[in-house]
Structure 1
Amino acid sequence: MNVDILLPAAREKLRAISDRAPLIEAAGLLKSGFDLVAVCGNEQNLVGVVSKTDVVERISQCQGSSCTCAVATVMTLQVLTCTRFDTLSGLWEQMKSRRIKNVPVLDEARRPVGIITARDVLQTLLTEAASEENMLRDYVMGFGYR
């Protein structure tokens, strides 16, 4: 099963801003219920992400006008990303090992097309496992076979 199955939900969770946008703009997007904001460069390609943790860390050190700095000065540059063709199980292993809750989904030009959450990935994997278990039980019990 691939990331593609979660793309409609991932698109709804996508919020993106320019790397030149002020930090306060990212904070406003995060305040509205989102956990991660994709930061895009001139070509609309992903150059980093900003999380609530990034914003809180910067604001806790604010002095004067430093809270109006550009998002680029605060964003995380080393970002785990995926494409619609990546497997959910492989993505889940990476998210789990790196303790990441949200992952940007990128197109071929590295433009963000969605944000996938750990909850969505895990829920889909658990549903798939339950379905496989039911099919195996039905096979062993001989349901539908003569």
Structure 2
Amino acid sequence: MLVDQLLPSARDQLVTIKDDAPLIEAARLLHGRSASLVVVLNVDGVMVGVITKSDVVGQISGCQGSSCMTAASVVMTRDVTFCHPHVLLRSVWERMRKSDLKHVPIVDRELRPLGVLNARQAVQALMEELGSEEELLREYVMGIGYR
């Protein structure tokens, strides 16, 4: 299974913000949503980082006065683990598991975001795929449908 098979639901998880936007805008975007990741874009719409709910809480919990208007680019994580739609979902899941990531941006060749892959989505899709493979193997062994 390739990542692009999950793009429709991954697009629903995509939340973006410009790198010069105030961090408080990222907080507003994350508040009350199931997403816990905001993809930060430069002027050209290219991913330059990500901001998580914990990044927002960590920065805002100690802000006072003008420090509360910190730009998203100051707080974002720049070294982002991401994937492309044409890669195997299983390999992306392995990277997510090893790095303890809950979300991974899906980007095109120019690093423009296409969606955000959620770990729960990935596991569910892999389990469904495994179930289908087991059923096909069982039918093959039993000789069902192969005459």
Q: Write the mapping of 1:92-103 to structure 2, written as runs, cut at 5 A.
A: 92-103=93-104
Cα drift, residue 98 of structure 1? 0.1
Structure-2 separation of matches of 1:143 and 1:108:
44
Structure-2 separation of matches of 1:93 and 1:109:
24
Cα drift, residue 145 of structure 1? 2.2
Q: Please tell me the residue identity of whatever aligns with 2:74.
A: T
Structure-2 separation of matches of 1:85 and 1:43:
23
Alignment gaps of 5+ in structure 1: none
- The question of 1:51 aligning with 2:52 is answered yes
Q: Please tell me the residue identity of whatever aligns with 1:24.
A: I
SS in structure 2 at match of 1:104:
strand
Cα drift, residue 66 of structure 1? 0.9
Cα drift, residue 32 of structure 1? 3.3
The worse-fitting range, judged by mean Cα deviation, of 91-100 and 77-86 is 77-86
Runs of 4+ that moved beyond 6 A: none
Give the total of aligned pairs: 146
Structure-2 separation of matches of 1:12 and 1:145:
41
Cα drift, residue 73 of structure 1? 0.6
**What is the aligned partner in structure 1 of residue 141 from structure 2?**
140
**What is the aligned partner in structure 2 of residue 4 from structure 1?**
4
- The question of 1:114 aligning with 2:115 is answered yes
Cα drift, residue 30 of structure 1? 0.4
Q: Please tell me the residue identity of whatever aligns with 2:7.
A: L
**What is the aligned partner in structure 2 of residue 128 from structure 1?**
129
**What is the aligned partner in structure 2 of residue 23 from structure 1?**
23
SS in structure 2 at match of 1:115:
strand
Structure-2 separation of matches of 1:145 and 1:56:
58
SS in structure 1 at match of 2:65:
coil
Residues 53-111 of structure 1: CA deviation (Å, up to 9, x unaligned): 10011012212221111000100111100111111000000000000000111012111
